[in-house]
Chain A
């Protein structure tokens, strides 16, 4: 079945540094990738939608300059958290529609801790 590989699974970084999270579609081409943020015991908040070869579409209230999204190829989308602060600590998950009309495939998530 369709698989999205997300890494790293967890990362700890210092305040002020940047962290890159990668999501790769392994057996299908993902022209679109959704990036979510999940706070503890809460639902998923859609941050942005990346589209291969074009600029990402950000949801209202999401800082474009802090959360840089790149979708350089049909199999790779990246989220870079720039100048990270402790309040950026969260669980980030990517998701791609696999090409059929229904199921969406999710990455395994990245636990980001900023210290």
Chain B
């Protein structure tokens, strides 16, 4: 079946540090890949997405590249801010079947300190 594996958190960084949150997936074919962000007490917001191999999703300084060869979709940001503190979820939507269901990773909590 489909699955998403994320690095365990929490990840604690100083402001302006470089961020990487690893995400790998297992799926047949070419799933669509997503990163969602959840701020405390809120629902999830789409951060970025990629729908085919070698696509790079980007938003608000965050980037992730769809790597088919390594089945990865790692999230990166060059300089984090305190306001980036949140939980980040990697997710996939299968290319076929699955009924439009998203498969989520376990989430990675990011804490950015001054």
Interface hub of B32, B42, B51 (most chain A Cβ within 10 A): B42
Interface hub of A34, A43, A46, A95 (most chain B Cβ within 10 A): A43
B73 near A: Cβ within 8 Å?
no
* Inter-chain contact A97/B51, CB cutoff 8 Å: no
The interface-forming segment of B14-22, B63-71, B76-84, B104-112 is B104-112
The interface-forming segment of A11-19, A65-73, A75-83, A98-106 is A98-106
A26 partner residues in chain B, CB cutoff 8 A: none
Give B43-85 interface residues, CB cut-off 8 Å to A: 43-46, 49, 51
Using A44-B89, A102-B49, A103-B49 as known contacts, say yes or no to A109 and B42 having CB atoms under 8 A apart: yes
A64 near B: Cβ within 8 Å?
no
Contact of A34 among B49, B51, B101 (CB under 8 A): B101
A107 partner residues in chain B, CB cutoff 8 A: 43
Can you pick out 14 interface pairs between chain A and chain B where the beta carbons lie within 8 Å of each other?
A32-B100, A41-B109, A42-B107, A43-B89, A43-B104, A44-B44, A93-B44, A95-B43, A101-B51, A102-B32, A106-B43, A106-B44, A109-B42, A111-B41
A46 partner residues in chain B, CB cutoff 8 A: 101
A6 near B: Cβ within 8 Å?
yes
B89 partner residues in chain A, CB cutoff 8 A: 43-44
B residues contacting the other copy or chain, number (CB 8 A):
22
Question: In the assembly, what is the distance between CA of A95 and CA of B100, in Å?
Answer: 11
- State how many angstroms separate the Cβ of A57 from the closest Cβ of chain B: 8
- State how many angstroms separate the Cβ of A99 from the closest Cβ of chain B: 11
Interface hub of B49, B89, B102, B109 (most chain A Cβ within 10 A): B102
Give B26-47 interface residues, CB cut-off 8 Å to A: 32, 34, 36, 41-46
A49 near B: Cβ within 8 Å?
yes
B97 near A: Cβ within 8 Å?
no
Question: In the assembly, what is the distance between CA of A41 and CA of B51, in Å?
Answer: 28
Q: Which A-chain residue is minimally distant from B91 (CB atoms)?
A: A104
* Inter-chain contact A43/B100, CB cutoff 8 Å: no
